Amino acid sequence: MAPWPERQIKVYMLMVWLCAAAWTSAVTPPNSTLAEFEQWMAHHGRIYKDNLKKAKRYGIFLETLRFIEDFNSKAANQSYKVGLNQFSDLTTEEFVLRYTGFRATSRSSKSSAATTFKYSMTQVPDSLNWVEKGVVGSIKDQGECGKRVTKSYYIIVQRHVIFWYCDFFSFFFKASETI
């Protein structure tokens, strides 16, 4: 049997090792979120050009995941829950810049000067033939397209009239049964 101080040192070493293991598991993110991020990347076809970019997107993904868990835990009275989607690696600002609003084209220094309107608005012609200008073409033959439209319209009107008569006469039959 080991002497008392040697056993005590082993116990202390075991305690230090257990504390260190508990501390590292609390500090480092669990592998489940990293695995979830990898699955999310595969599902949405995300490939990042380097590990630095991937680490940045993973951080944003973790923030989104925390938001989702927080919202869903507080949303007991809501009729919906939020979840991960194809935008989960984007910040709100990045999403707004990419997917909303007007996208102005960049102009070169030459075209930044004001341009004038091509046509004079003071001299407006009395009439304008767009066919002569080549903007509007001639009328094309639509074949029997009009017949199909007319026939379908006729069928709809006919059914409407039949249903109206059925309702009208059923009222009289019901009224005569009650007398």
The reported pLDDT for the residue numbered 28 is 46
Closest CA to 84 of 67, 100, 99: 67
Q: What is the pLDDT of residues 132-161, one digit of tens each?
A: 888 887 767 665 555 565 666 666 766 766
Task: Look over the chain and give the mean of its residue pLDDT values, rounded to a whole number.
Answer: 75
**Number of residues in the chain:** 179
Question: Residue 73: what pLDDT?
Answer: 87
3 state SS of 86: coil
pLDDT digits (tens, 9 = 90+) for 73-112: 887 777 888 899 999 999 988 888 888 876 666 655 555 5
Ordered DSSP codes for 96-143: HHHHSS--PPP--TTTTS----SS-SSS--S---HHHHTSS-PPPP-T
**CATH number of the 33-101 domain:** 1.10.287.2250
Q: Dmax over Cα atoms in the chain, in whole Å?
A: 117
pLDDT band at 46 (very low <50, low <70, confident <90, very high): very high
Of 102, 105, 33, nearest to 63 by C-alpha is 33
Confidence of residue 126 (pLDDT cuts 50, 70, 90): confident
